[in-house]
Amino acid sequence: MALRVLFVNRMASMLRGGGETYDLEISRHLAGLGCEVSYLSGIPVFGRAVTPIQRERSFTLRTPYAASLPWDKFKGGWRLRAFDFLCFEYAAARWALKREAQFDIVQVCELPRFVNFWKKGGGAAPVVMRMTSPIYHDPVNGVAQADALIASGTTIDKIRGDVRDDCVNVPNGVDTGLFRPHESAFRKKHGIGADEIVVLYVARFAGVKRHLFLLKAFASALKTLPNMRLVLVGSGHDEPLSKTTAKELGISDRVLFLGEYPFDEVPDVYSSADIKVMASDYESFSFTTLEAMASGLPLVVTNTEWVPRLIGGDEGGRVTAIDDNDGFAEAILELAQNEDLRRKMGERNRQEAVQNYGWTASARKLLTLYEGMLGEKEG
């Protein structure tokens, strides 16, 4: 009988960040290893799924969605965010408890109060919690109650050192068959010339991703090399401000805001680009860096610990200080003006992604963890 796994991810039907990408990709590969996978995610009380999960066993719950407000822009706004998640975690636990006979394992993307509700409700299936960051809100000590904890990147060491030393490292990966160098019609569709240099940023519009920093650096680089386009994929609170900033900088005609983009079409965006950038001031890992590497792109990134390791420092791109706007602009220009260097770095990145970051190995490691937990339960 196939091992039955329920993935619970609050945001998977509304945006695709790192935690959502992880769940969707590793669960797809678990299915390839013979598991029966189901998904439970949230949608607003009034609204629809912006990024619906296109899988057979996918379910949604309607709960308040405070993330539609700029909760991180005003004092105490985090309480709205916490209330949003509390509503979902309670509803999701009730939903899953009514159907607990259908699942052997429950995996949650953080959601400590779900774990608490599940345990209090007598849920029998072991719960695996994935930590996307060492910074989280856990008023009920749900992290300690989880039957297993998994993480990756810089998060793993911090969780092991400060929270639970039994946290299991299940690495992030990338689908190197989906993300690969290939021809696409993206440039033609958006009126981008073959001779233009396309700089790509794939990230939600949130403060930590620093779109304003990037826009200022790009505006500076345009003064030297005007034949460039900046393509921004993602949505979020800071999108309106970013559009206003682009207008104020006089570069609106050189910046393409794509918004939330269908995941299966994102590889075509990567394949049309010349340079991938990452402007964050913090990243515990970075899926989009792996996607760019698998797509054969060089990168310009800020020094956020793990990302420079992924690209091998100057081997796969350029690394600048987090607050060095001029340095970031100069790094973009250096790669934009040197096709041979871009090609060499892109080839290195593609090889690294193929050899060391496939999803199948991570899925096998997670499946081994599941099987061990169930074996202990039966024992």
pLDDT, residue 65, reads 85
pLDDT in tens, 151-201: 988 888 889 998 999 999 998 889 999 999 999 999 999 999 999 999 999
Map tokens 């460039």 to a residue.
228
Q: Note the CATH number of domain 186-356.
A: 3.40.50.2000
pLDDT range class, residue 69, cuts 50, 70, 90? low
| Residue 282: band (very low, low, confident or very high) from pLDDT cuts 50, 70, 90 | confident
Average pLDDT, the chain: 93
pLDDT value at residue 16: 83
Distance between CA atoms of 369 and 373, rounded to whole angstroms?
6
d(CA 286, CA 126): 28
pLDDT reading at 58 higher than 90: yes
Cα–Cα distance list, 48 to 13, 125, 133, 266 (Å): 9, 30, 28, 21
| The pLDDT of residue 72 | 65
The pLDDT tens digits for 352-377 are: 999 888 898 899 999 999 999 998 87
* Domain assignments of the chain as residue spans, ordered by start: 4-173+358-378, 186-356
Query: Measured between alpha carbons, how far is 81 from 64 in angstroms, rounded to an integer?
Result: 10
pLDDT of residue 135: 85
> What pLDDT was estimated at residue 376?
80
| Residue 90 clears pLDDT 90, i.e. is over it | yes
The pTM is what? 0.76
Q: Which of 152-156, 257-261, 289-293 has the weakest average pLDDT?
A: 152-156
Which homologous superfamily does the CATH classification assign to the domain defined by 4-173+358-378? Answer: Glycogen Phosphorylase B; (3.40.50.2000)
| pLDDT at 71 (0 to 100) | 64
